[in-house]
Amino acid sequence: MKKPGTTLPTFSPVSRLTVHERVYDRIRDALVIGKMLPGQRIIIRELAAALGTSMMPAREALRRLEAENALVVAGSGTLSVPIMSPSDYEELCLIRVALEGKAAAEAAARITPDELAKLKQVIVALEKASETRDLEAALRLNHEFHHLIYRAARRSLLLRLIESLWLRVGPQLSYAVRNDIHGGIVIKSDDHPHREILRALTARNGRAAAAGIARDIRIAEKVIVAHLVAETKAQSEVGKKGRSKRHGPAPGAAAKRGKLTGRAVRPRTTRG
């Protein structure tokens, strides 16, 4: 009888990600990219069906995201995407400017020619998505643009901190990107912050890259805070009219009634 050797049989590669991790990543990406809106309720059964999995991985993923403050428990006991106050969002942007500006400055010293070429491709694709008013593509490409830069900084801890912020930022950005699309801000403008940032990174100018990131954040902040202020004011007016006699649904009610089925609920625009 032949003595067993040390050579192992051929195995097919094992996925590095478990079902639980894949489900978590899918929901997390939906938040970060902005496919889920503030106030949107999440029904575990429907979420699991949309992802093609059992309820256990979905429930586990939601618990993790709740612990990361990406989701909150609504009055009904279900989880929902947080609705931020104007002051909370202004504070979030203050932190973003510091961290994301630093990452852009670091990226200016380390970004490779291939990464610069990819960044330019993303900008062109984002401009095209804006021209065709493809909101979902614009949201995805906007996220890709920013995170290409932050990964190029080669600062892993800084990147993790920024990614945690984007769990709160992402759901708000739909308002700003929609405003860009309908207002024509993004469409092939050399003055747009994204073009400014690309020029700064190409020139290896860290200070200018950080300034471009700050400008990009502040422009979106202005749109989003104006929307949040309007929503807060409208909800206050509804409250004054009394709970028993409401003239139509409260602003944001569509988002609150929304359920994750793979399609984002359309928010009201700031430009009618």
pLDDT exceeds cutoff 50 at 87: yes
DSSP state of 150: H
In this structure, what DSSP letter does residue 259 have? B
Is residue 215 within a helix (H) or strand (E), and if so which, with residue range? Answer: helix 206-241
The answer on pLDDT for 267 being more than 70 is: no
Dihedral (CA of 53, 266, 195, 153) sign: negative
- Given a cut of 60, whether residue 70 has pLDDT beyond it is yes
**Whole-number average pLDDT of the chain:** 85
CA R_g for the chain: 21
Q: Work out the percent of the chain whose per-residue pLDDT is above 70.
A: 80
What pLDDT, on a 0 to 100 scale, did the predictor assign at position 9? 61
Instruction: Sketch out the chain's domains with CATH numbers.
Output: 19-83 (1.10.10.10), 86-227 (1.20.120.530)
262 vs 187 pLDDT, higher one = 187
pLDDT in tens, 208-235: 999 999 999 999 999 999 999 998 888 8
Report the percentage of the chain scoring pLDDT > 90.
Answer: 64
Instruction: Tell me how long the chain is.
Output: 272
| pLDDT, mean of residues 98-104 | 98
pLDDT the model gives residue 81: 94
Nearest Cα neighbor of 212 from 199, 196, 201 is: 196
Range 35-52 average pLDDT: 91
Chain segment 129-177, per-residue pLDDT in tens: 988 889 999 999 999 999 999 999 999 999 999 999 999 999 999 888 8
Of 14, 11, 26, 28, nearest to 169 (Cα)?
28
- As a whole number, mean pLDDT of residues 77-82 equals 91
pLDDT in the model for residue 84? 93
Rama region for 82: left / alpha / beta (φ>0; ψ in -120 to 50; rest) = beta
Q: What is the pLDDT of residues 229-260, one digit of tens each?
A: 998 888 888 777 766 555 555 445 444 444 44
Residue 255: the pLDDT is 47
Q: How far apart (Å, rounded) are the C-alpha atoms in residues 65 and 27?
A: 9
Q: What is the pLDDT of residue 123?
A: 95
Torsion (CA) 233, 235, 239, 245 in degrees, nearest 10: 130
Whose CA is closest to 96, among 167, 189, 186, 177?
167
Alpha-carbon dihedral angle through residues 175, 178, 179, 181, given to the nearest 10 degrees: 160
Residue 173 has φ and ψ, to the nearest 5°, of -70, -20
